[in-house]
Structure 1
Amino acid sequence: MIAAMFSLALLDLTVYGVVIPASALLLAILTGPSLWHGTTIDALDLAVVAGLYLAVVVLFRVAFTVFTVANVLGLFLCFGTGLVLGVAVPVVYTLRRGRYLSDLGLGLGNWKQAVVLGLILTSIQFAITLFGYALPAPADWVPLLVMSLTVGAFETVFFRGFVQTRLCASLGQAPGIAIAAALYAAYHVGYGMDVQGMVFLFGLGVVYAIAFAVVRNVLVLWPLLTPLGSFFNNLNGGDIELPWEAILGFADVLALMVASVLLGRRWLKRRNREQTAAALPGRSPGAA
């Protein structure tokens, strides 16, 4: 992972999107068969992943290629809906399947390792991209930063915590990581990105996926690593201009994401209390 991050400064972006996945594949082959087999294929998991992925891509595609900036309200409603669905649906689905939020990387498990690894990778990325970068006026970068934090939260929970985790459970670590990284790259068609850009993001997606797989905690990627990369890309591209009011819109979307997680945690605690009470001697499952 560290070598892959340093390679951002050395390799052409398209070459990066080929070399890094190829290197990861070689390491996976050398590691042995343990990375190539899942437990049992869960058809419902795969169906929900596919359906939600398609819904998110369609919403983003409509937002950025149908409404466009000519209809800001329509663009933001489609975009924001996709972002919220990408967090709220995985939370609800995970709990309804009798699983825990930690399955999505939302918890305190391995949080120290996640923070340390995240800081190391973020420091390298910052040194390559933003160190010494002359920021424009605050009005030109603060809204972009808030957008990057919001989109980064969505991508971390949806693609790493949900899509990757469910694919790895059914197919194995190596296939799950590869497919999740490919889906992450391909979903950018919703933004209207070209193939060359998606090839690069496939390579970067492999790095992010492996980082999450190592610690299984979203803190390795958010709120530093993925938002930083997105922020630099948007800032350096110079093709996105957001008014100050956009901060409120993205803050609302982020608040809805956080609310879905908090409500899920509250529901989980109640479920655990009911299960504990039902297991007590002399108590029936339906006892008050």
Structure 2
Amino acid sequence: MGPDRRAGAAFLEASGVTMRFGDHVAVRDVTLSLARGEVVSIIGPSGAGKSTFLRCVNLLEIPEQGSLRVGDTSLTVRPGAKPREKDIQPLRRKLGMVFQNFNLFPHLTVLRNVSLAQERVLGRSRAEAEARSMSLLDRVGLAGKAGAYPGRCSGGQQQRVAIARALALDPAVMLFDEPTSALDPEVGAEVLAVMKELAGEGMTMLVVTHEMAFARDVSDRIVVMVDGAVVEAGEPRQVMSDPSHPRTRSFLSAVLGR
């Protein structure tokens, strides 16, 4: 944590990202960058475009326009020109994504959920993939659940499996989209603990979250989105204690009760 994390050049960079659904502008000319090892939390009211922006970064939603870069891999999307899948894949492979609702395969065991993409995307043998999977399941405290099916796991356990699955592809950056929003607070704490460990180990992380304590205590920077645009960004203590934008003040007043 601290200034040393932000000393380097931008490692992940999104520039001028815009996304429309019909007449609705969901993401409005958003520019954001992270240094290697930095943790940035995106907060803001519902409908602000936070999750849509994250999906644009991972190219699950193709933005109307904007540039994306991770390390030395980049892609520019121009209006009316949809990029080809072969141009999307190199960037997407550098990004791990954890969704709100786990997205595990219910008919596969926990071990196969974590292993399958390694075999198909990275070309690992089944033995290699399963060895890597067991190491990661142990890391998230779930080695004992390897043979279980997702339906036999709690929500918090399923989300930790999803984190292990994303890590198994060796991403350069981890993207988290409201990873605890579907969980009870006590269960969500298990997931946040894993995320804090990853942050402590230097993983570059972009996190859309409603967990204000995580944003304040774990992030290097907080970005506030309202109506599809970034209205404020800065160090957590400054944004949380002395926000400069009135929309940030009203949002924090509502969620923090002050």
Which category of TM-score, normalised to the shorter sequence, fits these structures?
A: under 0.3
User: Which of the pair has the greater relative contact order for Cα pairs under 8 Å at 6+ separation?
Assistant: 1
Q: As a proportion of its length, which structure holds more helix?
A: 1
Bigger proportion of residues as strand: 2
> Normalising by the residue count of structure 2, what TM-score does the alignment of the two structures yield?
0.24
TM (norm. structure 1) is 0.22
